[in-house]
Chain A
Amino acid sequence: MKRFIVTSIIIFTAYLAQTTLMADIRIAGVVPNLLLVVVALVGYINGRTQGMITGLILGLIYDCQYAGVIGLYALFYMCLGYVNGICHKIFFRDDYTLPVIMVTASSLALGFMTYVFEFLLRSRLNFNYYLRNIIVPETVYTVFIAVLLLKPMLMIYGWAKRVKEKEVTNA
């Protein structure tokens, strides 16, 4: 229950931050993807099901407010949450390598999927341009944000877990 509340608050804050702060603080015209960071890290820390649900909810909210069709980004984020959740099995607290690799791969995959569904289908074939000018810079910023957020998120979930254990022993 605690974990559920914590995740809800994280989703809420991340979405608001991404759509207001992040969209305004553009570095070289590119916005880092905080939503992806949250989905990937929740998946990595808490496992497949949670990563999947987090991705689904964030994607759905994003779809409703910004995208044309409902479900496209929900699908993307959900799959990414699931894939990141698989790595929960080799989760190790002080390891930065794995989350960095996972976030990088997720960001690249999301960029590629967006390109395929929104640009390639409208016969924009210049993939090289989109890769160099949008997907890669976005990935770099996103990974940077992920590294900054990994420790705080681990701490929050660690706290939630401790509270839960305490409740159980007290009862």
Chain B
Amino acid sequence: MRKKTPKIYIKPKYILFFLMTVCVISIAVSFKYSEKIAPVKTKVGDVFTPMQKGINLVGRWAYNKYELITRMNELEKENEELKNELEQLKGENRLLASEKYELKDLRAMYELTKTYSDYPTVGARIITKNPNNFYSTFTIDKGSNDGIKKDMNVICGDGLVGLVSEVGHNYSVVRTIIDDKSNVTGMFRENTVTCNVAGDLTLTDKGYLKVTGILKEADVNEGDPVTTAYGSPKFHPGIIIGYVTDIHNDSNNMTKSAYLVPVVDFTRLDMVLIITELSEGLY
């Protein structure tokens, strides 16, 4: 083989050492100045997100068609059931609607703070889930161009999904509450006993979250709903997280721990709502 230009040959070993050093420095820098390197990350996201979005649109369309064909009978049956349920719910809704006005007046009288249902929300579609098995984060198709900011709360239906952890121009990354690094201050809706709700990878398979730090004297029962707490610095109060199960005493004999079944089904997430108002917290 003929070489056109004489190449400078450096042993791969030395290139490796050089690049390793660069990587280590980069880790240190991005760890220390995470705010300043955000634009770099955004650039990469700007390139890849539209493509991932496109691929997912095609994939979703194909999957829907496939499902339509294979599950036709099932869907018809489900449709029938849902129609019945709808009639029932309509009746209930009428009752609730009339009560809502009453509640609004009463709230105004007591000057209670707004509940999360009053906050403005914006819908977003999930583009990609983190392909690494160790994390539970996903990317959505709204970013700073659509007014999304870091630390906004993400919900689905009426349950808490997570928190916006990173924002790019046309995408943002959401850390779900089942992620191992996630941590939420929760409280029991019935008696406002606070607790700590943390994601745990070892429990994700079973569909649980870990609840710790419930006072031993607190009167809590299995199946009690847990919502975000009033003292939470990043979350709006009153968003339902899930229901507790398997309450047991800790070995320190001062607190209790439990598991929590989230109301959101994280395996089937597709669309989420983002509360576009940041929680002010208590401090």
Chain A residues with a Cβ under 8 A of chain B: 15-16, 18-24, 29-31, 33, 35, 47-49, 52, 56, 61-62, 64-66, 68-72, 74-75, 78-79, 82, 85, 114-115, 118-119, 122, 124, 126, 129-130, 133-134, 138, 165, 168, 171
Q: B182 → chain A, closest Cβ, in Å?
A: 12
Q: B166 → chain A, closest Cβ, in Å?
A: 8
Q: Does B19 contact A (CB under 8 A)?
A: yes
Question: Do B45 and A64 touch (CB < 8 A)?
Answer: yes
Chain B residues with a Cβ under 8 A of chain A: 1-2, 12, 15-16, 19-20, 22-27, 30-31, 34, 37, 40-41, 43-45, 48, 51-52, 55-56, 59, 128-135, 137, 139, 173, 180-181, 201-202, 204-205, 267
Q: Known: A49-B12, A126-B202. Is A138-B133 also a contact (CB below 8 A)? A: yes
- Chain B residues contacting A79 (CB-CB under 8 Å) are 16, 20
Q: Which of A66, A75, A114 has the most CB of B within 10 A?
A: A66
Question: Do A23 and B129 touch (CB < 8 A)?
Answer: yes
- Chain A residues contacting B131 (CB-CB under 8 Å) are 18-19, 22-23, 31, 33, 35, 66
- Chain B residues contacting A62 (CB-CB under 8 Å) are 132
- Chain A residues contacting B31 (CB-CB under 8 Å) are 69
Question: Do B133 and A78 touch (CB < 8 A)?
Answer: no
Sample (26) of A-B pairs whose CB atoms are under 8 Å apart: A16-B52, A19-B48, A19-B131, A21-B55, A21-B59, A23-B128, A23-B129, A29-B133, A48-B12, A56-B19, A66-B131, A66-B135, A69-B31, A69-B34, A70-B37, A71-B24, A71-B25, A72-B23, A75-B20, A78-B19, A78-B23, A79-B20, A114-B132, A129-B202, A134-B201, A171-B2
Question: Do A85 and B24 touch (CB < 8 A)?
Answer: no
- Closest residue of chain B to A114 (Cβ to Cβ) is B134
Q: Known: A49-B12, A66-B132, A134-B134. Is A168-B1 also a contact (CB below 8 A)? A: yes
Q: Is the interface of B mostly helix, strand, loop or mixed?
A: helix
Q: A150 → chain B, closest Cβ, in Å?
A: 21
Q: Known: A72-B27, A74-B23, A133-B205. Is A23-B130 also a contact (CB below 8 A)? A: yes
Indicate which residue in A29, A56, A74 contacts B205 across the interface (CB closer than 8 Å): A29
Question: Do B23 and A16 touch (CB < 8 A)?
Answer: no
- Chain A residues contacting B27 (CB-CB under 8 Å) are 69-72, 75
Question: Do A65 and B23 touch (CB < 8 A)?
Answer: no
Question: Do A75 and B24 touch (CB < 8 A)?
Answer: yes
- What 4 pairs across the A-B complex have the smallest Cβ distances? A71-B26, A64-B44, A48-B12, A75-B23
Question: Do B134 and A119 touch (CB < 8 A)?
Answer: yes
Q: A26 → chain B, closest Cβ, in Å?
A: 9
- Chain B residues contacting A64 (CB-CB under 8 Å) are 40-41, 43-45
- Chain A residues contacting B37 (CB-CB under 8 Å) are 70
Q: Which of A62, A68, A72, A122 has the most CB of B within 10 A?
A: A68
Bound complex: CA of A121 vs CA of B128, how far in Å? 27
- Chain A residues contacting B45 (CB-CB under 8 Å) are 64-65
- Closest residue of chain B to A59 (Cβ to Cβ) is B23
Bound complex: CA of A171 vs CA of B4, how far in Å? 11
Q: Known: A16-B55, A79-B20. Is A30-B133 also a contact (CB below 8 A)? A: yes
- Closest residue of chain B to A75 (Cβ to Cβ) is B23
- Chain A residues contacting B44 (CB-CB under 8 Å) are 61, 64-65
